[in-house]
Structure 1
Amino acid sequence: MYDVDHPAYKKLQEIGREITMRVKPEAVVVVSAHWQAGKNQVQINTSEKTELIYDHYYEERYPNVGSKELAEKTMSLLKKAGIEVKGVDRGLDHGVWVIFKCAYGLEAFAPDENPLDVPIVQLSLFNSDDPDQHYRLGQALSTLRAEKVQIIVSGMAVHNLRDFRFGSNVPDPMPYAISFDEALKDAATAPPAERQVKLADLLKREDARKAHPSFEHLLPIHVGAGAAGVDAGTRLFTLVEGSLSWAQYRFGDVL
């Protein structure tokens, strides 16, 4: 968030401008790696006034509003799909507000441009490692896209903080980070008819638990891919640093 010269930061700004100036969503539903609900239940923030949830940087702010109407519409879609969902009053965690602050912060825009200023509704993951369960969650959300609701998922392509902490002075990418990053690209950009199976198979790879000691930072992309329907996936950017990958994906074209 403070390393404004980092390539991933600059790419987030580029994507932020694309969303605000070309996509122009009327609202956002966002899924973050940092919120897991129940094994067979998801939760959604129904609050209109949404605070921030911190684990550090406690003086940071990201002004935002929720939407009870959109939360209720989303709950209805999930229930119709047979997914148990509960509305709760919860803030935005740093898996959302940090990324949004990078992508939509005022410094990313020219004076005559406006940052993202639409309702943001956060939805949880399941507290499970089931990739198909999360893919179906995304499928249940897919019709929101036709109503100009942007679906954003926040995780990491490779996320091994244990190796990052102990090897933070080692600039070279870890071999498992390179191999898993490319495997994720192959799965996410596969033909839509093959994508669900390929994404599920990622969790079975020998390097999977090295790339993701726990899978919550990987599973958001299963939700995003499920929501994409027949739209193809594109890797917009990647950068492997040590035991992390900052890859970013889009499903569908910007019209």
Structure 2
Amino acid sequence: MKEFRPGAYDRLEKSLHDIRTELADLPRAVLMISAHWEADRFWLSSAARPPMYYDYAGFPEHTYRIRYAAPGEPYLAETVRAMLEHGGMPTGLDPDRGYDHGTFSLMHVLYPEATVPLVQLSMKKDFDPAEHIRVGELIAPLRDQGVLIVGSGFSFHDTRGILSGAGEVASATFDQWLDETLVDSKSPERRRRLIGWSNAPAARAAHPREDHLIPLMVAVGAAGDDAGNRVYHEQTFMGAITASSYRFGEAPVGVPIP
């Protein structure tokens, strides 16, 4: 079994700090598509002060006392709901949904001040890649309105493979395909490849269940024709796992691309 070594998250943490540096100005709000919210339709958290949602069990007691106190943004939630409904997507507002760890673990590093308004968007539990890409296309105008759209998941998500070390080859194989898809492919080809992602090399070994991959589909849809850039990559995450993160669109002028 692979041990969770000290510093295991250092490079990932740095990549989140780099995102903040690249953005320079604080976004008006963040729209987070979390791998930890599945529903029968595309729900949006709509509370002005969302609670916490500890969607895990068996962890140390202090992990259930984590607080991320960023305000919600009911107006943004309603705006997104209207955009999706207009595009024919079943949608709803959830005033009770709290911040899950797919959201607060990233946001606490990215914006620890917890002052940027935050709305979560659920995945639809059928995990249809084309439908989630379409959701991204419908909400793409938000990018020009100061809203940062984030797909929160993991490029390799087989817990047994991480702990046993058996995911070393599968993660590297799928990561290479993912990089070819997101960085080297033009928008139409990128979309085609993602819709057929389950045919990729080591696809089901990397994602036995695609909950951690689907948030990417929304981000890609919102990206339009913007090129993908790999902003985080390591081949020894948790000892042996290859993992990557991506940004779509160029960094602001004067900020070097990692």
Alignment TM class, shorter chain as reference: 0.7 to 0.9
The reply to whether residue 13 of structure 1 matches residue 17 of structure 2 is: yes
SS of 1:128 mapped into structure 2: coil
CA contact (8 A) 1:160 1:210 kept: yes
1:76 to 69, 82, 90: 82
* 1:15-34 alignment, distance < 5 Å: 15-19=19-23, 22-34=24-36
User: Which of 170, 173, 177 does residue 176 from structure 1 map onto?
Assistant: 170
C-alpha change, 1:43 and 1:12, in structure 2 (3 Å) is same
Contact 1:35–1:124 (8 Å) recurs in 2: yes
* 1:93 aligned to which of 73, 97, 100: 100
Partner of residue 3, structure 2: none
Distance 2:240 2:191 in 1: 25
Does the CA-based 8 Å contact 1:160-1:244 persist in structure 2? no
Amino acid at match of 2:30: V
User: Which residue does the alignment assign to 2:181?
Assistant: 187
SS in 2 for 1:246: strand
User: Which of 136, 139, 162 does residue 164 from structure 1 map onto?
Assistant: 162
RMSD: 1.9
CA distance in structure 2 between the partners assigned to 1:216 and 1:3 by the alignment: 26
Instruction: Spell out, residue by residue over 1:74-105, the C-alpha distance to the aligned partner (whole angstroms, 9 max, x if none).
Output: 10000111000011120010001011112223
Partner of 2:38: 36
The 3-state SS of whatever aligns with 2:220 is helix
Identify if the C-alpha distance between structure 1 residues 132 and 5 changes in structure 2 by more than 3 Å, giving closer, same or farther: closer
Shift of 1:3: 4.1
Question: Secondary structure in 2 aligned to 1:203?
Answer: helix
AA of the residue aligned to 2:36: H
Identity value in percent: 32
CA deviation vs aligned residue, 1:47-92 (integer Å, no higher than 9, x gap): 1111111124112121211011110001000011100001112001
Tell me what 2:255 maps to: none
1:124 aligns with 2:128: no
What secondary structure sits across from 1:158 in the alignment? Answer: coil
Deviation at 1:8, TM superposition (A): 1.2
Instruction: Please list every run of at least 4 consecutive aligned residues from structure 1 whose deviation after the TM superposition is greater than 6 angstroms.
Output: none
| TM-superposed deviation, 1:244 | 4.1
CA separation of 1:245 and 1:59: change in aligned 2, threshold 3 A: farther
> Is the partner of 1:82 in helix, strand or coil?
coil
Instruction: Report how many residues are paired.
Output: 237
3-state secondary structure, aligned to 1:13? helix
Supply the AA of the counterpart residue of 1:216.
D
- C-alpha spacing 1:3/1:97, structure 2 compared with 1 (3 Å): farther
State the distance in 2 between where 1:217 and 1:4 align. Answer: 19
Take 1:63 and 1:3, find their aligned partners in 2: how far apart are those partners? Answer: 26
**Alpha-carbon contact 1:160-1:243 (below 8 Å) kept:** no
Work out whether residues 136 and 221 of structure 2, in 8 Å CA contact, stay in contact via their aligned partners in 1: yes
1:103 aligns with 2:110: yes
CA distance in 2, matches of 1:4, 1:178: 18
Q: How far has the Cα of 1:206 moved from its partner?
A: 4.5
**Cα separation, 2, equivalents of 1:245 and 1:62:** 29
| Deviating more after overlay: 2-11 vs 94-103 | 2-11
